[in-house]
């Protein structure tokens, strides 16, 4: 079965083609073909990189007219040009899309029908920075691939089993009926890392109490027990919880009232402030990229040093919250661009957890090995680095849905 995965970012587009057998592995295989388009630094031009499993590769820049145009362009390289990997579009069996917000109604991977598309569109008010981009990908694939089945894989779905006391906000009771509740995000990554962590340790996911630390430009933790998420740091939106690249994470809501009343800020200004001008970028004054912040901190920049310290403190703070939800922990996993590569952050985080009889092998940690254990044999808590593979998880989920369709 050939599964095409489309994963939309705010100013990027990842696409991969996988071939799955009847028993797909936990670890992600090499994709048959992959494409990445990024217009973060050049809003009018997309930097495109395309490669296939045979080693053919092309890299170039094209003028951006729309996300849909970029998707249609890169999909054509599947069956034409130097990176061609299939003879015709009809060889693709199913298309899987990462969709950020499924709201209260869409809580499992779902075959995309007109009704499902309409629901994703309606939920754009919950995720205005993400769902419209996801829809563009769905519509572009429909134009290019016609009747090929498409599947929506939701970032919120893995957290559907959150207990009531975790889902509810302590506001008016009717908030919940209006859809204002804790949904959680990064669920595709958390689910993959749960399965991969258990596989590395030779255990079943249901037998592991796991805290998964997804640390990238966006950051969240998930407390996982019996194979389900029982707590997480993100909530109604991806803004809640940990300090992130440009996002503040959890702050006193009274600050927003103060900024409205005293500084005259409106909703759009507050949204931009909290989502793009806070976090590492806001505190360091340097960048939302942890690599740049670390470099500045090492060079003596005091704001950058404070940003690193605050990031680490809030990570340990929320790990503490996850510990109480699990009533202990067996495995602590680090994933995402920061989680997988920042040895110093992992070391400082684990140093604050020594009371759990957690011991890090500092040499292994310094090497940042992918899909490996970095705790000592004596550590009562196993510590892992897992390279997250959201696209592979989307491919597996899409394959499962297609099989159910018959």
Mean pLDDT in consecutive groups of 10 residues from the start of the chain, 406 residues: 92 93 87 93 88 97 89 95 96 97 94 96 86 92 95 97 97 96 97 97 97 96 98 96 97 98 97 96 97 98 98 98 98 97 98 97 98 98 97 97 92
pLDDT at residue 42, rounded to an integer? 79
Catalytic residue numbers? 155
Phi and psi dihedrals of 364, rounded to 5? -60, -45
Question: CA-CA distance, 277 to 296, in Å (whole number)?
Answer: 18
Q: CB neighbours of 63 closer than 8 A, spacing ≥ 6?
A: 44, 45, 46
Angstrom CA distances, 276 to 40, 67, 134, 356, 396, stand at: 13, 21, 20, 35, 33
Question: CA-CA distance, 303 to 92, in Å (whole number)?
Answer: 50
398 burial via Cβ count (<10 Å: 0-12, 13-18, 19+): buried
pLDDT at residue 71, rounded to an integer? 93
Q: CB neighbours of 82 closer than 8 A, spacing ≥ 6?
A: 56, 58
CB 393 within 8 A of CB 188: yes
pLDDT at residue 91, rounded to an integer? 97
pLDDT at residue 39, rounded to an integer? 87
Q: What is the pTM of this model?
A: 0.95
Determine the Cα angle at 365 with ends 362 and 368, to 5°.
155
pLDDT at residue 11, rounded to an integer? 79
3-state class of 166 per DSSP?
helix
């Amino acid at each position: 079965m050939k599964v095409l995965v489309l994963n939309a970012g705010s100013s990027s587009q990842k696409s991969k083609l996988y071939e799955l057998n009847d028993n797909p592995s936990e670890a992600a295989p090499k994709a048959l073909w992959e494409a990445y388009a990024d217009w973060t630094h050049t809003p009018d031009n997309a930097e495109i990189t395309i490669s296939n499993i045979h080693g053919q590769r092309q890299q170039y820049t094209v003028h951006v007219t729309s996300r849909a145009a970029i998707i249609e362009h890169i999909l054509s390289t599947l069956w034409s040009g130097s990176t061609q990997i299939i003879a015709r579009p009809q060889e693709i069996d199913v298309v899987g899309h990462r969709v950020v917000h499924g709201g209260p109604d869409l809580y499992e991977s779902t075959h995309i029908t007109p009704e499902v598309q309409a629901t994703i569109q309606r939920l754009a008010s919950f995720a205005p920075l993400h769902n419209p981009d996801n829809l563009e990908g769905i519509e572009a694939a429909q134009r290019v691939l016609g009747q090929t089945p498409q599947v929506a894989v939701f970032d919120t779905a893995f957290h559907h089993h959150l207990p009531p006391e975790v889902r509810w906000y302590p506001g008016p009771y009717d908030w919940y009926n209006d859809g204002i509740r804790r949904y959680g995000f990064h669920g595709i990554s958390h689910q993959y890392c749960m399965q991969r962590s258990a596989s590395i340790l030779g255990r079943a996911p249901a037998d592991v109490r796991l805290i998964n630390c997804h640390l990238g430009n966006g950051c969240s933790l998930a407390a996982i027990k019996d194979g389900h998420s029982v707590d997480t740091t993100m909530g109604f939106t991806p803004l809640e919880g940990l300090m992130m690249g440009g996002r503040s994470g959890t702050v006193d809501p009274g600050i927003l009232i103060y900024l409205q009343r005293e500084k005259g800020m409106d909703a759009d200004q507050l949204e931009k402030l909290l989502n793009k001008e806070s976090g590492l970028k806001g505190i360091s004054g340097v960048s939302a990229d942890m690599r740049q912040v670390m470099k500045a901190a090492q060079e003596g920049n005091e704001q950058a040093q404070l940003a690193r310290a605050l990031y680490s403190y809030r990570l340990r703070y929320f790990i503490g919250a996850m510990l109480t939800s699990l009533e202990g922990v067996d495995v602590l996993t680090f994933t995402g661009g920061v989680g997988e590569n920042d040895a110093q952050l992992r070391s400082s985080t684990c140093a604050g957890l020594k009371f759990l009889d957690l011991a890090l092998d500092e040499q292994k940690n310094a090497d940042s090995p992918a899909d490996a254990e970095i705790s000592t044999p004596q550590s009562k808590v196993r510590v892992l680095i897992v390279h997250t593979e959201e696209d592979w998880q989307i491919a597996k989920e899409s394959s499962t849905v297609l099989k159910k369709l018959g």
